[in-house]
Each structure stands twice: as C-alpha cells, then as structure tokens.
Amino acid sequence: MSLTPADTTSAALPPLASRQAAKSQGASTPGTGTSGSGTSGHGTSSAPPAPALGVASVSHLAAKLAEYLSPADLKKVKEAYRFSDEMHLGQMRRSGEPYISHPIAVAEICADWKLDAQAIMAALLHDVMEDQDVKKEELIERFGAPVAHLVDGLSKLEKIEFQSQIEAQAENFRKMLLAMASDVRVILIKLADRLHNMRTLDFMTAAKKRRIASETMEVYVPIAHRLGLNNIYHELQDLSFSHLYPMRYRTLAKAVKAARGNRREVVNKIMEAVKSTLSLAEIEADVTGREKTLYDIYKKMRSKHLSFSQVLDVYGFRVVVGSFADCYVTLGTLHSLYKPMPGKFKDYIAIRKLNGYQSLHTTVIGPYGTPVEFQIRTQEMHRTAESGVAAHWLYKSGESNPSDLQQRTHAWLQSLLDIQQQTGDSAEFLEHVKVDLFPDSVYVFTPKSKIIALPRGATAIDFAYSIHTGIGDQTVAVKINNETSPLRTELHNGDIVEIITDCSSRPSPTWLSFVRTGKARSAIRHHLRTINLPESIALGQQLLSQALQALNIDADLPAPLVERLLNESSANSMDGLYADIGIGKRMATLVARHIFGLIGGEAANMPVEHNSGSELDPVTICGSEGVSVQLAPCCLPIPGDQIIGQLRRDQGLLVHTSDCSQAKRQRAKEPDRWIAVRWGTELNRRFDCRIKVLINSERGILARVAAEIGESDANIIYVGMDEDKDNVLDQLRFTVQVKDRVHLAALLRNVRRVAGVNRILRERN
C-alpha cells in the first residue's frame, strides 16, 4: 500500500464539493470523532481550516497492512483513507494535529491485530457519519454494506432527543453493544478508538478527563478483559487511573522507578537460576520478568491494605515453553528449584478462564525468602493472553470450526441479545451488562460434568438461568455437592450444582436481592413486568390517582395532556406508565408533580415531601395479591397490624408492620418510597405468623403444644427447636397460619395454658 503525500491531498470529488465549500465558509465542525463514547469534543477544535493543511503520515500503517493484506484489499483501504481524509479536511484535534491522524492511529491499532480489510476501512471511516453527516446509504454505495454496518454501529445517536445525558449515554452503549453482538469487529474498533483517545486525553479539561476516564474504567476496561485483550485492558486501566487520580499515579510511578534499581540484583539472580535449571531439564523456554502495572499495585494496596514495599516484594516471571506437556514439566522443575507456597497454585490450562486465558500459576519461596510468582504457558496461550479473541481472528481465517475462545465469545454476545429482549430501557440494559463484565469468575459443574463459568458471588439461581431461562423461571430447589441448599447460596469453584424444577413454579421478586448475573436479573424483571402486568397497572393507577389527588388534580387527564406526558416520559402508553409506577420503577409523586408542571403549575421542581403520603387515602391491601404486592418476610404482617408500604425498584409494593425495625432503617434512607396502606374489609385467606414458645424440657411437650395449636384452628407450616445454653428452658419455634390478630391472640392464650409452657410470644425481626 503506497500512500504518498500526494494521496493525502483531497481531490476535488464532485459529490463532496458542496460539503467542503460549506466547511470553508466557517461552518462549525459537527461531532467529535469519539463515536459512541460520550467524549464529545474530545478530538475537535473549531478553528477554521488553514489553506495548506499539514499532512498526517500513513507510511507506518501502510507497512503493517502490506504484511498481510492482498493488493486488492490494499486498494480498497486506500480508497477509504482518501474518502476519510476528504471528509475531515479542515478539521483539527485539540492538540493542533489534523483530524485524519486519529482515524489513522485507530486503523494502526487494528492492524496490530491483523484485522481484515473491512475492519481497517471502518476504522478509517469511523467518524464520518457522526462528524460529517455522511449517510449510511453513501457508504454502502462506495464501500459495501459490511463496512457501512460497522461504521453505523460505531456512530452515536446524535439525532435523537433524550431526557438526560445518562439516558443518551446508555442508549449509545446499547447500540454499540448490540452491533457488537452481530459483529465483534465493532467493539474491537471501538476499543482501538477509545485507546487512542485516552492516549491523547491531556488536551481536555480536568472535569472532562475524569468523566471520560471513569466511563472507560466502568465499561471499556471490563469489555477488553472479557474479550481477553490483556494489553489494551492494562493500558486503559493505567491511563484511566492517571486521569482519575493524577497525584496518586505520579507518586506510585516515582516510587516504582526508584525501586527498580534495588530489585535488579534479585531479578537477575532468579532469572539465571531458572534458565539454568530449565536448560538442565532440556526444556527450551523464554523467561522474562513480569512487572505489575501501576493500577494493579494501587488496587492491591487498597484491597489488601498493604504498603507499597509489601506489594513490590513479590517478584513475577513468565515462562513461555514449546508445548502443552512442557508446561507441567516446567512446573515440576520450578518446584524442585524453589519450595512452592501451599494453596498458591492455579491450573488455568485444565480449566481456562472465561475470556479464554490459559496458564499455570504458581508462587514459590525464592532467594532471601521472597515470594516469586510464575506464569507458565505455551506460545499459543501467550498469544491468546495478550490479544484474546483477536488472536484467533474469525475474519482472517478460512477455518470452518471456530476456536473454543470464539465459541465462548459468541455465547456471551448472544446473551447480550437475550438481555436486550427482556430489558425495559437502555439504562437497565447497561446495568445488566456491567454486572456480567466482572473479571473474577467461579467455575462450577453440572451433574454431567459440564463446566459453567459464572461471576464471583453468583448463586444457584444464576446457575439455573445460565443453563436456560425456562429452567431459571421454574427453579424450586437446588442441590450443591449432593446436599440440599438455599437458592441464595453463593457458589464456589468446583461445586457440583443440580437444579430441581417444577413446571408450576414462577420467579420470586426476592431473587433480585441476591442474583448476580445480568441474564438472571433481566429475566426475573421481565417476568415480573409481563406476567403480572394487569396487577401492576392497577396498582400504578391507584398510586398515581392518590398522588394527583394530593395536588388537587383530576385523575381523568385530557388527551392532549396525556400525549405530552407520554412524549416527555418516554412511555409507550398510559398502561406502560402505570405499570412502571406499580413495579416501583417510577415514583407516583414525581410523575404527579411533572403533570402539575405540564398544566402550568410550579410544583414540578418541588422537593418530594417525606411524610410518606400520610395525607392521602391509604392503598387497600387484601392479602391475596400476586407478586406485585408482597408481605414482608422480616415482620410477616397480619390483618389488624398497623402497616406501611415500601415501593421497591422493579419489585412492586412490599408491606411491613409499622414498627418493623428493618422498615425503620430503610425508611430513613429512602423516605419518598414509603406510602400509607391499610387492610381491606374482605380477607378470605390465612396469613403466616411466627411464634416462639419457651418450655420445660419434658416428655410429650411438643405434642401437647402442637395439638393445642390445631385445636385453635391454626395450621402449622414449620416447627423447629432451639436448646437453651443453660439447659434449663428449650425454645419451640412455629410458623402458623392465622386469620388476623384476634385469632392470633386466642391461639396465644390457649397455648399459654398448656402444662410445661412458661412463655409464648409472637416473634418479630
């Protein structure tokens, strides 16, 4: 590919003449060149174009591409470069460089991964739709549909009006991630784009640096790790760290530089000993020192409360050998040289990490008693560790059978589509995806010995949903290592998990409090949102009517007002708005104040009153509602108790007793989510209630107490026994079903008369 200086001179192409004329007349440069990243203004200045524009060199990029692209592909890339150069003519970066230098830099990073011609072309063109208003149809006509689709997936949604910056950002991420699900090249180009922007972030304001660095750390760093792109993962981490905490970064960098000289003698001694020992064992190996990144040092100091010297006292080495078998022979050789530390060995070759990473990890006691960490891998494993999914590039290979890493990546990308189908809005989608991007994983087994990788902290419910959404929805019990365990049990490496299902079972809103994966969370929320939609709509309508009543607004809203409300709240219909209120996604008081503002009032920006709506008519609770209205398990309210309702996000209404200690704590944190509720007059069911009976330990006492509970017309659904420490009194614990407080009081009186019963009381949290 020969891109001479003449190639960088923008030819006067007829279709572009009008656009360039408009730019030369002082039209402001739209966009920023950071598609989908939210780094508006990052690379652009509004300075008018100079007559003789400096030329960005592309010789380095050309040399890289010539190594693996055919002449025909090089010609296509050259056409894309010239078009991009023409489009960005006159556009400058904040550093003062011609803007075309940015697409060239992004394409060069992609060329390091040896991505195909279509990806390189998209990298060169990735800002023309967003910055220069080039239509997708024009790109299809010039460069073909695949390239146009890639560029479109990288472009932000500039023409859509959003209610907030957060909503706009979330929607841009959703668009990018869904485009990535159909073609992983989208995210590879995006990561290259973000990497170059982070490398040139010094020209931004301090506030913008922090915002972009924070966004990079939250979204792009985990994605790079998830795809196994280790080099970019570590560089983005360090760059983000340097802009988020510049003083800490500079201090650590200075300390590391000073410590290198002191460590050199130990490093050389270990290196010589290892090379000599491996040579005697006739193992050909490449041994290199492995230095921790600044962010890794900082993270370890923070998480483990270690000093800088303690973190740097651990020496790291990487041993790259010729074959799979040599990895294990090398491990044995190193253990004969230095004593291994117990519990500090991990075999990521037999059970590879979620992102495809494979290595043997061992920590030994080296010279002077210092810990030494070794990573042992083959050349192929090393390539995967450094470049992840790009090391086995789908588009450069004619192989019909995808690698294991490609299959894992494809499965994860498909899970993004599953989450998208079950998610209500962009912010929620991004929340679910972020949850799945945690780098730490646990590896568990199905009863048939299939390995399932889950985020650390995942539970049995997460495991069930990872198998299939239908299995998750119908889960009723779980066996972990052949022992029945609670559904909220956290899984650990090596657990054998068996899920027990029932076709009549349905997800519980309480599962949302302990599930870890985005797939499980989105599936549960989708179920609650759809299966119980009529109930949620009815509850939401009642809550909004109450809130409107407090502002003296008729609940029967006129059609023009409804249309304005739906447009400004991004709801599809009033039923959708009611459902959002009913499941706690929107607050009725805030919607009512917004309506008040729409009709000309001044209450739209009023602070929410923290009296829990006590001036309104309470919501009536019948006790027979579905999952949109639940009785709190902490206090188990029964008719006759004073009660209060808590609107939980995406989980509906939870009813507590007014004196519940857990309710009091949560009410202090979020007072605006509590509403007045009351019991209805027609209650045709029984309610669970916990009681504790203090008894003398004597023969037949349990039978007498249970018989008296039965005689009192109450059902026993649970019984347990706790022995007193002093072995004087035992405690019987019952969960019984009663009609109301009057029924409970009669039961307590009857049981209290049983011989051997010292005391009986209702048990509270």
Active-site choice (85, 108, 116, 130): 130
R_g of the chain, CA atoms, integer Å = 32
Is residue 486 within 8 A of residue 539, CB to CB? The reply is no
CA distance 598 to 616: 22
Scanning the structure block, which residue is given the tokens 């999952």?
A: 627
Question: DSSP code of 7?
Answer: G
CB atoms within 10 A of CB 18: 9
What is the three-state SS of 502-539?
CCCCCCCHHHHHCCCCHHHHHHHHHHHHHCCHHHHHHH
Of the residues 116, 131, 215, 428, only one is catalytic, namely 131
| 550 vs 615: CA distance, rounded Å | 8
Half-sphere exposure of 166 (CA within 13 A, CB side): 6
Cβ atoms within 10 Å of 559's Cβ, excluding its own: 7
Nearest to 356 by CA among 221, 264, 225: 225
With CA atoms as reference, report the closest residue to 585 among 563, 569, 600: 569
Helices then strands, each counted (H, E), the chain: 30, 19
- CA 33 – CA 9 distance, rounded (Å): 21
As a whole number of angstroms, the distance between CA 322 and CA 271 comes to 19
Cβ atoms of residues 638 and 621 within 8 Å: no
Strands 619-621 and 674-679, how do they pair?
Answer: parallel
Question: Taking a C-beta distance cutoff of 8 angstroms, is the pair 197, 130 a contact?
Answer: no
In the chain, the amino acid numbered 740 is: D
- Distance between CA 375 and CA 320 in Å, rounded? 8
Evaluate whether 201 touches 212 at the Cβ level (below 8 Å). yes
Helix H or strand E encompassing 213: helix 206-215
- Beta-strand relationship, 652-657 and 629-631: parallel
* Amino acid at site 348: Y
Buried b (16+ CB within 10 A) or exposed e, 218-250: ebbbbbbbbbbbbebbbbbbbbbbbbbbeeebe
Burial bucket for residue 389 (CB in 10 Å: 0-12, 13-18, 19+): buried
Active-site residue, 326 included: no
Contact yes or no for 362/338 (Cβ under 8 A): no
| Cα gap 379→718, rounded to integer Å | 60
Residue 538 CB coordination number (10 Å): 15
Task: Please tell me the number of Cα atoms within 13 Å of 357 on its side-chain side.
Answer: 25
* Residue 130 appears among annotated catalytic residues: yes
Active-site annotation, residues: 130-131
